[in-house]
Each structure stands twice: as structure tokens, then as C-alpha cells.
Amino acid sequence: MEIDTTPKRGDEIRLAIDEAAFEGRSVGRVNGFVVFVDGAVPGDVVKARIVKRKSNYAEAKVVSVEQASPFRVEPRCKHFGVCGGCRWQHVDYSKQLQFKEQHVVDAFERIGGLSNLNLLSILGADDIYFYRNKMEYSFADRQWVDRSTRSGAELPANLEAQKVNVFLGLHVPQRYDKVLEITECHLQSEVSNRILSYVRSFTRRRNLLPYSSRSDSGYLRFLVIRQSERTRELMVNLVTVDDRPEVMRDFTADLRSAVPETTTVVNTINSRKAQIAFGELEKVYYGDGVIHERLGEHVFTISARSFFQTNTAQAEKLFEAAKSFAELKGDEVVWDLYSGTGSIALFVSDAAREVVGIEAVESAVRDAERNAQANNVRNCMFLLGDLKERLTADTTWMQSSPKPDVMIIDPPRSGMHPKAVDEILNLAPPRIVYVSCNPMTQARDVKVLCSEKYVLTKLQPVDLFPHTYHIENVAQLLLK
Ligand SMILES: C[S@@+](CC[C@H](N)C(=O)[O-])C[C@H]1O[C@@H](n2cnc3c(N)ncnc32)[C@H](O)[C@@H]1O
């Protein structure tokens, strides 16, 4: 095959893959010209088709693997390669961990402009399958059919001819109009596969229609399954457009006999056009509408709308790392910024004098307060507010509250608002522990903190999401 030095869209080229890139892709080069490849593994030699061409790089998809990388393993899941949930199931787990470490280093060197990083060895997962305590599946009236599945077998065609008009599964990346029917998922326990099969047969038997944003009609939106890792309590939440008590009563009765492990059944009703799994009304049809999960010493009550880390065992390792970076002696005031349902605050509370959590979502603040109370933790308080306003020096609260000795920060993927970073610099706590699920925005924020007043002393990556490219990272910063 002829190698074009500047490959064009549609070209098929032979590529040696030499490194992992951001977002689960790999990199190959044609005379120095970078090609990001989907579905390849570093160490492979592949035939790849160029699908996008920009001035300084191209994007390609694997057509065939000509020489397999020694790091390739057989993926377990039959949906692998089509479903976007796992991008690295075909990569040996120890290699996945190495890629994730490299991702953290690249982010801090390239975006953070920092060098000589003190990177502690990544904390990998003991259980790399069935580790999720929550999965959210979507209903759709159209399914995604990929005729070139990994096994080469075709997915069932002509489903419309069988009058099947409810599909339940996961969205294929960047394709939100259809779902991929999921019959097995290796991320949540085996019981979730039985629930999927039950829900599919119930909704088809009753001729219940998925919500369609095109016609703004239909009933079914999402199926959310939450199962506690430690107590095994199991919540099935059907998210629908309207309130149909008779349907839900039948759904619950049949579910309880099909899947007796179910401990609570909830119906979240969201009549708005926005396709989200939250709603204006929650009705409990069985059990008490919550499950309980243990993290460290504490038990958390999780309702249908509560945020909770999806990998319980690894969340414990993450919070242990944050607690150890906080170096608490017992007399410190700790501020837990972006405190969510208070899991970090509670986790460190036994080692601090006082913990103040700040969080923008009211229901999360209420959950955090309830969790503190239920666990008999008396030295935590939780405040509602947007960080960029809460931290401004001229508020009564700021003037009257004790200043933090340690700040633990756990923002969303987008990182911190620049104004919040400025306010943290004004407050200048002696120690900052920055927990993040996105090393790129973390590196960006750390760069600002370090260019002013802080030194980055160590980094601890923790893998909460085996087989995906996601990575959590904890950074310790000390005041200069
Ligand atoms: C990654 S989660 C942190 C979760 C928390 N550590 C826990 O374990 O529950 C980020 C949290 O930041 C909150 N948040 C997002 N933007 C915020 C803002 N501007 N001010 C305060 N909280 C915010 C979100 O509601 C969410 O609970």
C-alpha cells in the first residue's frame, strides 16, 4: 500500500501505533504527521481509514489489525467496539493504568507547564468488572445497528417488522437519536442484565412507547439501576414522562417476582422536553425509596436524585489519598469545596476540628446534612452557595468564620471558575488538596495557583473507571 505523506479523508493507510492519546484514542504518525486512531492499541500495526483531516492532524478508524500489540486482550463484552461505555476493554489492565498515569503527566506538563512531578504510583482497582453501583440506560424508538460488530456477526435486523418499537440500552458516542440495545454489561452486577431483560419484555408486552423528542410524545425515558456494593440493596428507577400509577403498580409487582433482589422501586416523572433522568416528582412504589452504601466508617443514604461516587471500593481509596494529603493532626479547620453529598467531609471529619462543606445544589446540601446526622458526626456543617460568590471576602459569613488550615477541592469536570481560584489565592490556606476527575482542567487551575503562591508537592492518580479512559487524580499543594 502506498503511504501518502499527507493522508486525505477516505485514504486507507498502514500505521504503526506508538502511544495512547487523550480520550481513549491512540496515535500513529505518517512522516511526523499525527493521526489519532480509534480502536487501536499502542504497539499495533493497523490499516486505518482517515475520517477527518485538519491542517496539523488527522483522525482515523481501524479497518484491520495487521500486527496485534502485545498489550491486546480479548474483550469480554459482545457490545465492545460499538457501545461507548468501555473504550479500553481490549487493553491489558496494567497497560490501561500506565496510559492513565501518562495522561496525568501529559496534562501537568503540557497544560500545567510543570516539570519534575512527584507522581505516586497509580492506585488500580482490585475488581475491574462489575464495579459500578449505578447505571443509567435510555429508551428510544430507534436502535443503533452496527453491521460490523467485533465478532463480525450482524445485530438483529428488521426489528420493526416484528413490531418492536422499544429499545433500551446505551447511546453510541455522539449519536443521541438511537440507542444500542444492551443485553449484557460487565460494569454493573449480573442482576442488572436480568433487570434490563425484564424491563424490555414488560414495556413491549404493555406496548409502552419511548419518549421521542422529535414528536414530543411517548412515556419511557430512562431506567436507572443503583445497587449498593456493601449492603447489596437494589433500586430500580423508571424515569417516565407522566404519572401512570396502574402501570407502575404492575411493573413493580412483576419486577419483584422476576428480580427478587430488588429492595426499592421508584418512578421519577419528568414531563419537560429536556432528556434528563431528574424530574419534578418522585413516587416510591416499593421499599423506602433509598439504598444505603458504606464508605469507610460511614453509611450514606442514597435517594434516586443523590450524587454518589459510582465505584465504591475505589472511592474509598480516593478519599484515603485525599485524607493522607491533607496531613491532618486533629486541630485543623478544613473546608470541603464542592462538597456534594458530604462524602469527603465525613471521611476526614474524625481527623479535623471542624469541616465546612460548600455546595451549589440544595438537595445535595440536605443529603450531606442528613448523612452527617445519621452517622452522628457533629463537627461538619454544610453551606449552600456558588463558590465564586461564597468565597468573596466581604460577606458576613467570610468575615465571621474561622479561616481554613486545609482546603479540599473536588470540582466538576470543568474545573474551577477563575474567580473561585482568585478567592482561594486571597484566602491562601497553608495546604490545598485538589481532587479531580479531569486532569486537564486540574492542571490548568494548579498552574494558576502555583504561579502565584503554591508549590505542587505530589500527585496521586486513582482508577475509578477501569476500561474507560477516565481517571481521578489528587494533587497536594503547599503554600510557599
Ligand atoms: C465532583 S462533584 C463533588 C462530589 C463530592 N465530593 C461528593 O463526594 O459528594 C462536584 C460538585 O460540585 C458542585 N458544584 C458545581 N459547581 C459548583 C459551584 N460553582 N459552586 C459550588 N458547588 C458547585 C456540584 O453540584 C457537585 O456536587
Tens of pLDDT, residue by residue over 130-176, are 999 999 999 988 877 655 444 333 344 444 434 557 889 887 766 66
- Spatial CB neighbours of 198, under 8 Å, sequence gap ≥ 6: 254, 255, 258, 259
Which of the four pLDDT bands, split at 50, 70 and 90, describes residue 439?
very high
Pocket flag, ligand 1, residue 338 (CB < 6 Å): yes
Task: Give, using CA atoms, the residue closest to atom 4 of ligand 1.
Answer: 340
State in Å: Cα 106 to ligand 1 middle.
Answer: 25
DSSP run (H or E) holding 372: helix 362-374
- DSSP code per residue over 262-329: --EEEEEE--SSS--S--SEEEEEETTSEEEEEETTEEEEEETT----S-HHHHHHHHHHHHHHHT--
381 pLDDT above the threshold of 80: yes
Cell of 19: 502511544
- pLDDT (0 to 100) of residue 174: 67
C-alpha of 201 from chain center:
29
CA separation for the pair 47, 290 (Å, rounded): 50
Domain residue ranges of the chain, discontinuous segments joined by + = 12-67, 98-127+311-479, 134-295
Pocket flag, ligand 1, residue 343 (CB < 6 Å): yes
Task: Give, using CA atoms, the residue closest to atom 9 of ligand 1.
Answer: 340
- pLDDT (0 to 100) of residue 23: 81
Structural fold of domain 98-127+311-479: Rossmann fold (3.40.50)
Pocket flag, ligand 1, residue 307 (CB < 6 Å): yes
Pocket flag, ligand 1, residue 364 (CB < 6 Å): yes
High-pLDDT (> 90) share of the chain, %: 75
What is the rounded average pLDDT of the residues 18-37? 90
The radius of gyration of the chain's CA atoms, rounded to the nearest angstrom, is: 24
- pLDDT (0 to 100) of residue 151: 37
- pLDDT (0 to 100) of residue 430: 97
Task: Give, using CA atoms, the residue closest to atom 13 of ligand 1.
Answer: 338
Query: Which of 407, 218, 229 minimizes the C-alpha distance to 326?
Result: 407
Q: Tell me if domain 12-67 and domain 134-295 are identical in fold.
A: yes
- pLDDT (0 to 100) of residue 99: 94
Supply the mean pLDDT for the chain. Answer: 90
High-pLDDT (> 70) share of the chain, %: 92
Residue 28's DSSP bridge partners are 17, 35
Task: Give, using CA atoms, the residue closest to atom 5 of ligand 1.
Answer: 340
Task: Give, using CA atoms, the residue closest to atom 17 of ligand 1.
Answer: 360
Pocket flag, ligand 1, residue 418 (CB < 6 Å): no
Among 86, 185, 380, 437, the active-site one is 437
307 vs 36, more confident: 36
Choice among 45-54, 79-88, 235-244, 443-452 with the minimum mean pLDDT: 79-88
Q: With beta carbons less than 8 A apart as the criterion, state whether 291 and 228 touch.
A: yes
Query: Which of 94, 97, 91, 110 minimizes the C-alpha distance to 17?
Result: 91
- Annotation marks residue 437 as catalytic: yes
The preferred substitution site among 300, 323, 334, 338 for testing ligand 1, maximizing ligand atoms within 8 Å of CB, is: 338
- pLDDT (0 to 100) of residue 157: 45
Pocket flag, ligand 1, residue 410 (CB < 6 Å): yes
Pocket flag, ligand 1, residue 359 (CB < 6 Å): yes
Cell of 29: 504518525
3 pLDDT above the threshold of 80: no
- Spatial CB neighbours of 424, under 8 Å, sequence gap ≥ 6: 391, 407, 409, 416, 432, 449
State in Å: Cα 410 to ligand 1 middle.
Answer: 7
6 pLDDT above the threshold of 80: no
Pocket flag, ligand 1, residue 387 (CB < 6 Å): yes
State in Å: Cα 421 to ligand 1 middle.
Answer: 15
- pLDDT (0 to 100) of residue 135: 94
State in Å: Cα 357 to ligand 1 middle.
Answer: 10
**Ligand 1 atom at minimal distance to the Cα of residue 341:** 9
Architecture of domain 134-295: Beta Barrel (2.40)
What is the rounded average pLDDT of the residues 339-367? 95
- pLDDT (0 to 100) of residue 282: 93
468 vs 172, more confident: 468
Pocket flag, ligand 1, residue 57 (CB < 6 Å): no
- pTM equals 0.90
Tens of pLDDT, residue by residue over 46-99, are 999 999 999 899 999 999 999 999 999 999 998 888 877 888 999 999 999 999
182 vs 131, more confident: 131
CATH of domain 12-67: 2.40.50.140
Tens of pLDDT, residue by residue over 193-228, are 999 999 999 999 999 999 988 888 899 999 999 999
Task: Give, using CA atoms, the residue closest to atom 12 of ligand 1.
Answer: 338
